[in-house]
Structure 1
Amino acid sequence: MNPATSLQIRRGSVADAETLSRCMADWFLAAYAHASDAANTAAFVRSNFDPQKQARELADPQIVTLIAQDGADWAGYAQLRLATPPPACVTGPDAAELGRFYFAPAQHGRGGAGQMMQSIRAEARARGRRWLWLLVWQEQPQAIRFYEKQGFEKVGTAIFMVGEDRKHDFVMCGAV
C-alpha cells in the first residue's frame, strides 16, 4: 500500500490559522533556513506566516488553501491564488498561481505531493482556470524535478525576496 493513500486533503478554514501558521514557518525553515542569513529569514517568516495573516488568507475567497493530513498530523498544504496577476512570461489563458506548496520533511517521497497536486488542479478547474503558474527557487533541484514530473515547464525567471535577500526563481507553468 502506498503510504500516501492515508492522507486526507481538505479545504482550510479560519480555525486552521494558528496550526497553518506554525506549519508554514516550520516547513519553510526546513527547506530554506540555510539559504539566507538569520535576520532576513526571520523577517520573511514574521511577515508571511503569522496567524492573523493566515486567518485573512483563509477567509479570502480568492485564495484556496488545501491541507493534507495523515490522521491528526498535518502533512502538507498548498495555496491556489486566483487573483494574483501572472508575470508576462505566463502566456496561457485563465492562469492561477500555485502560491505555496509544502510538505513536512517526513512526508517527502511518500506520494502525498502528487495527491495534493491533483487536488489543486481540480480546484483550479472548478474555478474555470486552465493553467497554473508558480515560482521555484533555482537552487532547489528536488522541487524543480517534482514540478517537471507534474508537467510544469520553465517559462521565465523572477526575483523572490526573503527579507532583503534577493533569490532567483524560475517561473514555471503547467496545464490544470
Structure 2
Amino acid sequence: MFDINGWQVREAGEEDLEAVALVGSAAILETYAGLLQRADMLAFCRDGHSAAAYRGYLAKGGRIWLGEDTETGCPLGYALLCPPEIDHAQDGDIELKRIYTLTRMQGSGLGKALMAAALAGAQGHRRLLLGVNAKNVRALAFYARQGFETIGSRRFLVGSVEHDDYVLACDLTARDLLTAPTV
C-alpha cells in the first residue's frame, strides 16, 4: 500500500467494486463527454463499468488496485490487471485492462502509484499489454515513460462509435518490478 499526500493505493476486494465502478464511469464521462451520444455513454458505463463487470474480472483471476482519499475513503482512481483480452497477446502476457484516475488527480503521482502496484502484481509474466486511445497524447507519454512500446493497433468500440487504439507492451523480463516507474 502507498499512502502519500492524502491518498493511498491498496488492493481492492469485492466490497470495493461499487467504488471502482464509480471511478470507471466518471473517467468515461470525462473522456468521452461531447464525443458520444447519451445512450452510447450510458450503455458503455452500464455494461463495461458496473460492479458486476468488475466482479467478472475478479472471478477470472483479475486484480484491482484502488486509489482512495485517506480521510474520506472516496475513490480517486484504480488499475485492473486481467488475463489478456487483446488479440496481440502471447503466452506469458497479462493485460492492464484499465488504469484510470479522476482528472483532478492527474499529475499527483496517483497514476504512477497505480502503475507500480500493477507492475508488482504482474510479476511472473513476460509482458504487460494495454490498449490506449490513439488520440490520448497524455496517456501515451505516460506509458512511454513506464517503458511501454507500440506493438500494434486495433479498433475499440465505445457505445456504437469505433475509436482507434494503440496496443502497447512492456517487457517485464527486463525490468526490476520492485522499482517504481519513472514520472
TM-score by length of 2: 0.83
Correspondences of 1:31-42 after superposition (within 5 Å): 31-42=31-42
The separation in 1 between residues aligned to 2:5 and 2:122, in whole angstroms, is 22
2:104 to 106, 109, 114: 106
The separation in 1 between residues aligned to 2:155 and 2:86, in whole angstroms, is 14
One-letter identity of the residue aligned with 2:18: E
After superposition, what is the alpha-carbon deviation per residue over 1:23-45, rounded to whole angstroms, capped at 9, x for unaligned?
21112211222332222222211
Structure-1 residue corresponding to 2:145: 149
Q: Which has the higher contact order (CA 8 A, sep 6+)?
A: 1
8 Å contact kept, 1:86–1:95: no
Correspondences of 1:63-82 after superposition (within 5 Å): 63-71=62-70, 72-82=73-83
After superposition, what is the alpha-carbon deviation per residue over 1:50-75, rounded to whole angstroms, capped at 9, x for unaligned?
222233334x2510111112312322
8 Å contact kept, 2:23–2:100: no
The separation in 2 between residues aligned to 1:80 and 1:61, in whole angstroms, is 11
User: Which segments of 5 or more consecutive residues in structure 1 lack a partner in the other structure?
Assistant: none
| Structure (1 or 2) with the greater helix fraction | 1
Does residue 56 (structure 1) correspond to residue 62 (structure 2)? The answer is: no
User: Which segments of 5 or more consecutive residues in structure 2 lack a partner in the other structure?
Assistant: 173-183
The alignment yields a C-alpha RMSD, in angstroms, of: 1.9
Match of 1:34, SS state, is coil
